C-alpha cells in the first residue's frame, strides 16, 4: 500500500500541473492553504516511521569514512571548537553529545567551558583566536548565553566559513540567494528526512509553523530551494487548524506540547515533529499528538529519535564541509 501511495503522488506531481501535494512545517504556530481544491487525496492507515536515529547512523558512517580519507590525504583531522558559557544543565548535555559525536568521527574536538560571569569582550576575544586558528574548521557557541551577553553580536563574530551552526547572516543570505554554504543544522536535517519519503518536493504546498531564526525562517528557504510553495505561519496566524488540515507535509517545531491534534492531519501527510518536551512522568513527547496523528499520516517522525539525531549529524556534516573548503579539497 505504501508503494501505491508513493507512486501515485509522484505521477500526480509530474504529469498533472493543476495538482500539488502539500507540506506543513510547524515551528512556532501556523499552517498553509491548499494549492488547489482538487489535489489528489492520499489514503493510508498506519504511518511509516521516519527513523531519524537510523538515518543519522547511516550518514555518520559515511562521514566517518570520508573524514578518514581526508585525514590521510591532508595530514590532519577536521576540528570543531565548542564554547559553553554558564552552567545550564541542558546545554551541558548538548555539548557533551556534540563532543562525543566528534570523537566518534575521528574529528579534533576543542572544548571551552567558561563561567557564567564571563564578559562579552572575553568571549569575543576567544572567538577571534579560534577564527585565526588553522586547526579549527568549525566554531559553535552553545545557546543560550547569559543575559549580559548579546547572542547576535557573538554569532556574527564567528567567521562565516567556520559557522557550522549555520546561524551567521552571511550563511542565511547564501541560502536565500540559492547558493547555500553552511546550512542551519535542524532545517537541513529535516530536509534529509523529507528525502527519505522518496517524494519530489517540487510544487508541494509547504506550511511552516513558526518563524524563528533557528528553524522557521531557514526552513522556509530550504523548501523554496527544493521547489516547494511555502507559507510561513507564526503567532499572529489565524485558524491554525484549517492550515494544518490542508497540508500534505507537517513539520512541527512550535515549542508547544501537543499543539497539533491528530485529527487535524490530512490522510497521507508527512509529519516531521521538531518539538521536544518532557512530561511529568519523565517521558519525552513533541508538538504533535503522535498516537492519533500516526493513524492518519503517511510518514511521521517519532519523539525522541526523529529530528534530534539529525541536528547533530548535520553539524558534523557542516564541519566536514568547512574542513574541505579550508584545505581546498
Give CA separation, 123 vs 65, 141, 151, in Å. Answer: 34, 10, 11
Residues in the chain: 329
CB 252 within 8 A of CB 275: yes
Q: Which of 148, 144, 10, 12 is nearest to 89 (CA)?
A: 144
Q: What is the DSSP letter of 213?
A: T
From CA 222, how far away is CA 34, in angstroms rounded?
Answer: 20
Query: Of the residues 137, 142, 162, 321, which is catalytic?
Result: 142
Q: Give yes or no: 256 in active site.
A: no
Burial label, 134 (beta-carbon count in 10 A; 0-12, 13-18, 19+): exposed
Of 165, 248, 273, 287, which is the active-site residue? Answer: 165
Q: Are 322 and 139 within 8 A, CB to CB?
A: no
Q: Which of 131, 132, 133 is nearest to 141 (CA)?
A: 131
DSSP 35-92: S-TTPPPP--SSPEE--HHHHHHHHHHHHHHHHHHHHHHHSS--EEEEEEES--HHHH
Residue 241 annotated among the catalytic residues of the structure: no
200 tagged catalytic: no
Pairwise CA distance, residues 51 & 296, whole Å: 18
CA separation (Å) from 11 to 7, 41, 131, 296, 302? 6, 13, 49, 22, 28
Would you name the residues annotated as active-site residues? 98, 142, 165
Amino acid at each position: 500500500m505504501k508503494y501505491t501511495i508513493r507512486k501515485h503522488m509522484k505521477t500526480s506531481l509530474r504529469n498533472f500541473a493543476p495538482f500539488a501535494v502539500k507540506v506543513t512545517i510547524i515551528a512556532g504556530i501556523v499552517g498553509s492553504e491548499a494549492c488547489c481544491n482538487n489535489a489528489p487525496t492520499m489514503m493510508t492507515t498506519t504511518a511509516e516511521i521516519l527513523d531519524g536515529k537510523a538515518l543519522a547512523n547511516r550518514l555518520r558512517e559515511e562521514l566517518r569514512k570520508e573524514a578518514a580519507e581526508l585525514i590521510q590525504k591532508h595530514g590532519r583531522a577536521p576540528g570543531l571548537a565548542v564554547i559553553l558559557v554558564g552552567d545550564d544543565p541542558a546545554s551541558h548535555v548538548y555539548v557533551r553529545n556534540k563532543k562525543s559525536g566528534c570523537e566518534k568521527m575521528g574529528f579534533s574536538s576543542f572544548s571551552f567551558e567558561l563561567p557564567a560571569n564571563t564578559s562579552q569582550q572575553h568571549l569575543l576575544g576567544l572567538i577571534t583566536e579560534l577564527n585565526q586558528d588553522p586547526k579549527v574548521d568549525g566554531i559553535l557557541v552553545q545557546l543560550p548565553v547569559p543575559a549580559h551577553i548579546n547572542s547576535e553580536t557573538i554569532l556574527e563574530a564567528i567567521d562565516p566559513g567556520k559557522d557550522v551552526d549555520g546561524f551567521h547572516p552571511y550563511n542565511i543570505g547564501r541560502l536565500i540567494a540559492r547558493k547555500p554554504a553552511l546550512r542551519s543544522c535542524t532545517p537541513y536535517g529535516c530536509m534529509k528526512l523529507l528525502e527519505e519519503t522518496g517524494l519530489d518536493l517540487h510544487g508541494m504546498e509547504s506550511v511552516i509553523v513558526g518563524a524563528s531564526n533557528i528553524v522557521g525562517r531557514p526552513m522556509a528557504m530550504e523548501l523554496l530551494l527544493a521547489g516547494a510553495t511555502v507559507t510561513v505561519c507564526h503567532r499572529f496566524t489565524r485558524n491554525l487548524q484549517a492550515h494544518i488540515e490542508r497540508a500534505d507535509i507537517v513539520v512541527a517545531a512550535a515549542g508547544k506540547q501537543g499543539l497539533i491534534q491528530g485529527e487535524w492531519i490530512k490522510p497521507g501527510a508527512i509529519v516531521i515533529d521538531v518539538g521536544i518536551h518532557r512530561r511529568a512522568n519523565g517521558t519525552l513527547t513533541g508538538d504533535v499528538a503522535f498516537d492519533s496523528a500516526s493513524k492518519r499520516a503517511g510518514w511521521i517522525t517519532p519523539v525522541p529519535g526523529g529530528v534530534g539525531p539529525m541536528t547533530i549529524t548535520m553539524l558534523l556534516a557542516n564541519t566536514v564541509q568547512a574542513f574541505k573548503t579550508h584545505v581546498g579539497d
